[in-house]
């Protein structure tokens, strides 16, 4: 269990909410991990159960079916999901996608999609990455051409989380290819639109239970009212929302690193070698001491960054720094924790092996860590 006794800034209401998240994941998530890992996708009824339990989209206002809480509750769900090793599709919906609807959606769009996203009856995805455009979002080639009172969308997206299950996709497209970033707009594309097709559920190194897809758009016609926000403002919207996404990644990385440490600590206290436990060797204790110090610093930083974000003070540079440091540190801790398992760490039957595989993407998605350094460097 994730120890929060020395954390700062969490009140009694949040503590009770955390307990409800833990109970839900223990009952509805953890028992199914192996099956979801093999299937490459989470059961759809997990989404509705999560909605019924109040885990989805905490920041959605009451007017649209949500509880109207602040992002601290999202952070609790993210931490507990990462610690329990449950695939993270619902945190994407809560921490990233819901805010696009809240901030930029029309009243009609909010009423159509947000209540279902809160209940889990509607799953959303965002289609940014393309085969030739990853962290460089200005290079996207998907287009949306105005034709009367409709836009016609053409293009290919890849590495799209929730792609196999999404009922609606926020599509990043160029409405004016000559304007570069200023010609980028966002559109809502329903999964039943003619011309929309899902490709493969992609075979990844880790996070096997979280579906990730190719998506294809061939002359997909959507009404002009499906534009999310204003034309040409898409890139600005993406940049405005990225700090929260990167904070979410940092929080998840910290909780994942803590789980790896806890697994290693439990293992070395039980494992015997040369007539004593592995924990009794000075090298083991020194390694664990170094990891424990990093975790102590990490949790203090998570609470600091979260507090700044709740006050609307967290800068893009600070969010990028959080993503950079926590995911780099996550990898250091998890790799060391696996090493402490010895040969057992390389066996898939031990949780540390899956934690190690799942962690590798943290330094890539949400903007690679090399891009994080660019963002930080430009602000110096």
Rounded Cα distance between 204 and 350, Å, is 19
φ, ψ dihedrals at 58, nearest 5°: -60, -30
Q: What single DSSP character describes residue 141?
A: -
Structural Rg of the chain based on CA atoms: 21
| Active-site residue flag, 79 | no
Q: How far apart, in whole angstroms, are the C-alpha atoms of residue 366 and residue 197?
A: 24
CA angle 126, 129, 130 (to 5 degrees): 125
Contact 128, 158 (CB under 8 A): no
Active-site residue, from 28, 245, 263, 318: 245
Q: What is the DSSP letter of 295?
A: H
Length of the chain: 380
Q: Which residues pair with 150 in a beta bridge?
A: 147, 223
Rounded Cα–Cα distance for residues 55 and 67 (Å): 10
Q: How far apart are CA 261 and CA 364, in angstroms?
A: 22
Q: Which residues are part of the catalytic machinery?
A: 245
């Amino acid at each position: 269990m994730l120890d929060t006794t020395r954390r700062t800034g969490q009140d009694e209401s949040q503590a009770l909410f955390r307990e409800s998240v833990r109970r839900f994941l223990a009952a509805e998530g953890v028992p199914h991990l192996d099956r979801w890992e093999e299937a490459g996708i989470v059961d759809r009824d997990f989404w509705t159960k999560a909605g019924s339990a109040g885990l989805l989209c905490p920041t959605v206002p009451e007017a649209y079916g949500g509880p109207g809480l602040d992002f601290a509750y999202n952070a609790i769900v993210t931490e507990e999901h990462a610690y329990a090793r449950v695939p993270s599709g619902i945190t994407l919906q809560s921490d990233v996608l819901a805010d696009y609807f809240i901030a930029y959606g029309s009243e009609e769009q909010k009423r159509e999609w947000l209540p279902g996203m809160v209940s889990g009856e509607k799953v959303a995805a965002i289609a940014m990455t393309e085969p030739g455009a990853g962290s460089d979002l200005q290079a996207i080639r998907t287009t949306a051409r105005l034709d009367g009172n409709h836009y016609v969308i053409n293009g290919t997206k890849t590495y799209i989380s929730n792609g196999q299950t999404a009922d609606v996709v926020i599509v990043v497209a160029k409405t004016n290819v000559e304007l570069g970033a200023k010609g980028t707009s966002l559109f809502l594309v329903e999964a039943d639109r003619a011309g929309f097709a899902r490709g493969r559920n992609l075979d990844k190194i880790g996070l096997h239970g979280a579906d990730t897809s190719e998506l294809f758009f061939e002359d997909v016609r959507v009404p002009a009212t499906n534009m999310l926000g204003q034309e040409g403002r898409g890139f600005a919207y993406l940049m405005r929302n990225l700090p929260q996404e990167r904070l979410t990644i940092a929080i998840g990385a910290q909780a994942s690193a803590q789980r790896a440490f806890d697994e290693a600590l439990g293992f070395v206290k039980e494992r015997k070698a040369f007539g004593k436990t592995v924990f009794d060797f000075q090298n083991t204790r020194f390694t664990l001491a170094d990891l424990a110090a990093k975790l102590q610093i990490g949790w203090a930083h998570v609470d600091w960054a979260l507090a700044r974000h709740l006050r609307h003070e967290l800068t893009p540079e600070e969010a990028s720094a959080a993503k950079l440091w926590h995911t780099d540190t996550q990898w250091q801790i998890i790799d060391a924790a696996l090493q402490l398992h010895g040969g057992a760490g390389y066996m898939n039957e031990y949780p540390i092996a899956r934690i190690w595989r799942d962690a590798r993407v943290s330094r890539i998605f949400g903007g690679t860590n090399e891009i994080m350094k660019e963002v930080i460097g430009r602000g110096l």
